[in-house]
Amino acid sequence: MTETNAVLIGKKPIMNYVLACITTFHGGAKEVSIKARGRAISRAIDVAEVVRHRFLPDVKIKSIGIGTDQFLPQDEGDQATNVSTIEIKLIR
């Protein structure tokens, strides 16, 4: 799978990301990866569920990966920041 099949979740409405997933599948991709960090994780889960249940019922969840990214402090006195991540792989 190439990185062009990744949908990065941010602050836009859920349907924008759903459309991106559907477009990627209709473009011939067999697998789409939905990636999110922090507060966008719940939006990523919603995107995967809307794609599966409303638009493409033949799409299945291949795997779900969770992790933590650690960001180093920009100033000397600050501590490192941990941010949760999720990657949901959908397969058709």
Domains of the chain, with CATH numbers?
A: 3-91 (3.30.110.20)
**Can you give the pLDDT at residue 27?**
95
Which of 66, 58, 4 is closest to 33 using CA atoms? 4
Distance of alpha carbon 33 from alpha carbon 30, whole angstroms: 10
pLDDT above 70 covers what percent of the chain?
A: 97
Q: Across the strands, what pairs with 65?
A: 87
The reported pTM is 0.89
Burial of 7 (0-12, 13-18, 19+ CB in 10 A): buried
**The pLDDT of residue 67:** 98
Q: Is the pLDDT of residue 2 over 70?
A: no
